[in-house]
């Protein structure tokens, strides 16, 4: 039986980020990724929100979990580590980056793992859990990410690893090369070890997730992220002890949470995000089968800081911002400067001639704090001069047979600024 440990890891902050669409399905309203969103882009959004909102906390570890990384190898962690700029601590040689996968219970496992590291003096740790989950026909089941910042002090709640378990039980699975998850004989579900695992936990209240539930109205069942969205959308109140348990594919993990004073703020944001998004018929994916844009892995490697972290340069005398930053040999008089991801539309164009996926709105944004951004308006929406907007990571194209990420423009939300 689980021993109640003295908590020494705490949730500092958390944010959920759903796919852009809320789509009606026979399972109710589920979150659905836009054609240019994936596990990485959803994770980016909430991971960046954690760093933006907590400038005094510098994570030295990144725990990620997904079963739907657009590149199963090397997964989503390298993209996130680059973008979130997870740095090494003074007493350790490199950043502590770990990606869990396999079962959707690895979302809870990532939180447990982070708590263990913080308890062992290896914090702060950023946990980012993300999935774009689909069925065998590619239909949406839920697309969402959750980010949690965990450290030795925090007032969203305390977190302590509880039980883990494993046995062979194929309730849901996904074959390599197929679009989504499949089930066999659903009457087998009642033999799942999940309920037994939950019943074995010493807790007043257990929030149990399996490979297929619970269905969260508005979010659906977004894989690894589902148990944590279930937590933050729950009616838990300050001071309550509860256990978040996840058991899928025979793999089970649980963490014990004592709800803190700021939990209700996170819940409010979670409810906002679930009730937000775009509704109506999601546009068909643009046909880009004949679009073969230039791509270079050497260039992508060399320019990773400017691409993922919008690293620019600022003239120390005039304050003028230059992006991309000038070549090293021309950089005298400039200092590194990161472009803000919020700003105001200066001008725009709605382009009907673009041969792939148009008509397409492009905009020039005057960024808060200096510099500009020129790029696509996401989701085929339109903007006007003076609109407040934010930059969101999207998959621009698949040139070179890899996802090429860059920033697109969408209407500003309150929590991302």
Residues at the interface with other proteins (CB under 8 A)? 291-296, 299-300, 307, 312, 320-324, 346-357, 360, 362, 364, 366, 370-376, 385, 396-397, 399, 404, 406
Would you say 213 or 399 has its CB closer to other proteins?
399
Would you say 95 or 326 has its CB closer to other proteins?
326
Would you say 157 or 371 has its CB closer to other proteins?
371
Residue 1's alpha-carbon distances to 172, 203, 391, in angstroms, are: 28, 11, 48
CB of 306 to other proteins, least distance (A): 9
Of all helices (H) and strands (E), which one includes residue 18? strand 10-18
CB of 382 to other proteins, least distance (A): 9
**C-alpha 76 chain-centroid distance:** 10
* Residue 133 CB-half CA count within 13 A: 31
Hey, is 193 helix, strand or coil? Answer: helix
CB of 277 to other proteins, least distance (A): 23
Would you say 95 or 399 has its CB closer to other proteins?
399
CB of 406 to other proteins, least distance (A): 5
Q: How far apart are CA 126 and CA 307, in angstroms?
A: 21
CB of 395 to other proteins, least distance (A): 10
Would you say 199 or 351 has its CB closer to other proteins?
351
Would you say 1 or 353 has its CB closer to other proteins?
353
Would you say 177 or 301 has its CB closer to other proteins?
301
Q: How far apart are CA 365 and CA 375, in angstroms?
A: 9
Q: How far apart are CA 322 and CA 333, in angstroms?
A: 12
Q: How far apart are CA 354 and CA 370, in angstroms?
A: 29
CB of 312 to other proteins, least distance (A): 7
Q: How far apart are CA 327 and CA 316, in angstroms?
A: 16
CB of 51 to other proteins, least distance (A): 22
DSSP 254-311: EEEEEE-TTHHHHHHHHHHHHH-SB-SPPPPPP--TT------HHHHHHTHHHHHH-E
Residues 6 or more apart in contact with residue 12 via CB below 8 angstroms: 54, 57, 124, 149, 150, 151, 153, 154, 155, 156
């Amino acid at each position: 039986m689980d021993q109640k440990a003295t908590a020494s890891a705490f949730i500092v902050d958390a944010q959920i980020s759903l796919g852009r669409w809320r789509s009606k399905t026979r399972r109710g309203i589920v979150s659905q990724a836009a054609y240019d969103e994936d596990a990485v882009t959803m994770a980016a959004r909430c991971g960046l929100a954690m760093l933006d909102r907590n400038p005094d906390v510098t994570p030295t570890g990144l725990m990620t979990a997904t079963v739907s990384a657009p590149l199963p190898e090397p997964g989503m962690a390298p993209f996130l580590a680059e973008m979130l700029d997870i740095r090494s601590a003074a007493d350790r040689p490199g950043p502590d980056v770990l990606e869990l996968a396999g079962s959707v219970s690895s979302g809870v496992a990532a939180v447990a793992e982070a708590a263990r590291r913080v308890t062992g003096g290896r914090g702060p740790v950023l946990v980012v859990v993300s999935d774009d989950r689909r069925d065998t026909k590619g239909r949406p089941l839920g697309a969402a990410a959750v980010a949690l910042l965990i450290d030795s002090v925090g007032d969203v709640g305390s977190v302590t690893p509880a039980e883990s378990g494993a046995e062979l039980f194929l309730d849901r699975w996904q074959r390599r090369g197929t679009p989504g998850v499949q089930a066999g004989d659903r009457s087998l579900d009642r033999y799942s070890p999940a309920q037994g695992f939950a019943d074995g936990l010493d807790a007043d209240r257990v929030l149990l997730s399996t490979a297929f539930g619970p269905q969260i109205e508005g979010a659906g069942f977004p894989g690894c992220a589902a148990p944590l969205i279930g937590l933050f959308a729950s009616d838990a109140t300050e001071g309550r002890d509860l256990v978040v348990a996840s058991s899928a594919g025979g793999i089970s993990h649980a963490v014990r949470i004592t709800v803190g004073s700021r939990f209700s703020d996170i819940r409010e944001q979670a409810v906002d995000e679930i009730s937000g998004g775009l509704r109506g018929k999601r546009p068909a994916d643009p046909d880009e089968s004949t679009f073969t844009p230039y791509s270079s892995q050497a260039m992508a490697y060399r320019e990773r800081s400017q691409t993922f972290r919008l690293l620019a340069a600022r003239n120390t005398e005039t304050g003028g911002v230059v992006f991309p930053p000038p070549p090293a040999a021309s950089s005298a008089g400039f200092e590194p400067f990161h472009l803000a991801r919020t700003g105001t539309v200066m001008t725009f164009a709605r382009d009907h001639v673009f041969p792939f996926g148009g008509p397409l709105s492009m905009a020039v944004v005057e960024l808060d704090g200096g510099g500009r951004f020129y790029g696509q308006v996401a989701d085929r929406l339109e903007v006007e001069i003076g609109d407040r907007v934010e930059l969101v990571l999207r998959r621009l194209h698949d040139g070179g047979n890899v996802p090429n990420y860059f920033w697109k423009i969408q209407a500003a939300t309150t929590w991302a600024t």
